[in-house]
Structure 1
């Protein structure tokens, strides 16, 4: 998968099995605004209209239904390449500390349709209007992403140190034009969750 660049040596959310963890969101809305970002960073609810997206938490599991509309705040071109940076922090002694678990998807719009990735298995496989989103991704204002009704219940296979406690996962979308120049503004959102070892 040449579009997936592993930033650090230890995060391998992939096919090599070692320890299985269940992933529990703290917030039924799943995502929130990023902390400690520049003032010009676009917030989650600025770039995406979530008024028709419905989430509900029952026994630590979130049910999802509805649709999301792409707004016009992010000024990018349909030919741009979108890059996704995933940064993970662990709650330690009252502070969010950086961890070694970080990833870059060099071509997010391609990666979301690779059925070997967790990006696909826990999110994009539930998109109904596949052909339209494959064509437009998040690049065209007014695009509506329709979801089937689904339950967001995540199990991850992780190689590395034992995971425990609360984690914050920050996702940053960056756009690059045909010449490789980065667009001036990014989109950032985050989620807070807890990892628990999966019971046998």
Structure 2
């Protein structure tokens, strides 16, 4: 397999520049970095493909590998979708604050100002809290999801056949529905034949 050294160098430079640009606080630079990473990925897949060959419909000798081509198409679509999403974020950020930079909020500043002593105190508090940890469903007989049945709502008329176990007597279960077609009686006859 003969791969061009120029493609490898260009791919490495694109990856390095893309990662460097994505580490910035400006969303526009993050977008440019992501686009550079997408193009570097396409070059990587082109390099992986190896020596170009014929299309599969020209014959069976020296055929090009179709998998990297399909992966390249997928990478192009993903890069386009994320680029559109980042453009929407940049536009909304510009509408709200007339800037596309990500600023520190109060939680970030408080986290940066914490000392090692504060970290040790918080670690000790976490260790003590693990012993008393309980869940909401310990020793609770009811499930968090309640299943409602049609028999719980007498005001709703249900004409669907009911689920009865085989071999039960429909007369003991209650009065039959006058609109039913006799489906309930059949279950008891078949149940007696099976037992």
Give your verdict on TM over 0.5: no
* Structure having the higher Rg: 2
Normalised TM-score (structure 1): 0.17
More strand by share: 1
Structure with the higher fraction of residues in helix conformation: 2
Higher relative contact order (CA 8 A, sep 6+): 1
